[in-house]
Amino acid sequence: MRSLENNKTDPAPSRILYRLERLWLTPFVRFIIKFGVPILLIVIISFTYFSRTENTDVLKISWREFRENIRNRPEFLINLIKIDGVNHTMLNEVRNTMNVDLPVSSYDVDLRDLKSKVQLLKSVENAEVYIVENIIHVDISERIPVIFWRNSNGLEILDVNGISIGDVENRKKYSHLPLIAGQDANNYVKEALFIYENNDLFSNEIIGLVRVGGRRWDIILTEERKVMLPTQDIALVLKTVVALNKSYRLSSRNFSVLDFRNIDRMTIRRHKPFPETVEIKLNDVDKGEI
């Protein structure tokens, strides 16, 4: 029989192996070995490689070439700009303002900047700029001229919001548009248009409207006549003028001034057949006693 004393094999691990196995079972240690060590090696290798200037230059050049190749691919090149919503004259102005040299890569086009440039044009109310199928589309809403404004700088044409579309030398091109004058008159364009649209009695005799003191309007008529409007109740005054015409024949031009600044006591200055001033109370007009 073999002696038991000769069998010295011990199945138990050594103390060092036991401790290593216990460390491996620790989540933090296992995470460091699986991820931390490889990342650290990559950082060390990368730092060593890119610490040399020539290696960095090679990487920059390669990246620049790659980016340029992508930018200049045919599917990204823009060869056309399509502008809608403007006339031929305005079309050239928009193109010059955009200042885009074609062909150009879509990566080199700043749509927000192009939109800002186009909307700076006086005659442009709103603009939408976008790219579809390698075409830059520019959809423009033009400001519609509605009135002339005579001011200290000359003659300007305005839209319905009182925003200047541009300076003009005369009214030939838009002879059908009405005229306003006076300081800050451009801030009351809608009110002026209301007066023009609702002044049926003198619609064919109005030369223009003058803003007085920044508070009210004077209607300037032919033959040096005028209608002085109040600061408020303009609609009521225009309605009253029609009622007054029945008794005082205003449409026959038998007056020089219609003073409605005081809505409760209106004044008519007549010069035919002889000069006189007539005062009328608003209650008389409402009762039909004039």
* pLDDT exceeds cutoff 80 at 86: yes
Range of the domain at 269: 147-287
Non-local (6+) Cβ contacts of 106 within 8 A are 76, 77, 78, 131, 134
In a domain, 173, yes or no: yes
Comparing CA positions, the residue from 266, 202, 136, 135 lying closest to residue 127 is 136
**Dist CA 104 CA 249 (whole Å):** 71
pLDDT tens for 224-260 read: 889 999 998 898 888 888 887 777 777 777 788 888 8
**Of the residues 142, 176, 195, the one at which a domain ends:** 142
* pLDDT exceeds cutoff 50 at 1: no
Query: What's the N-to-C CA distance of the chain in angstroms?
Result: 152
CATH of the domain at 111: 3.10.20.310
- Output the CA–CA distances (angstroms, integers) from residue 124 to 30, 96, 119, 142, 287, in the order listed: 66, 14, 6, 5, 51
pLDDT band at 2 (very low <50, low <70, confident <90, very high): low
* pLDDT exceeds cutoff 60 at 106: yes
- 137 with 171, same domain? no
CATH of the domain at 154: 3.40.50.11690
Give this prediction's pTM: 0.66
Q: What is the mean pLDDT of the chain?
A: 83
* pLDDT exceeds cutoff 60 at 286: no
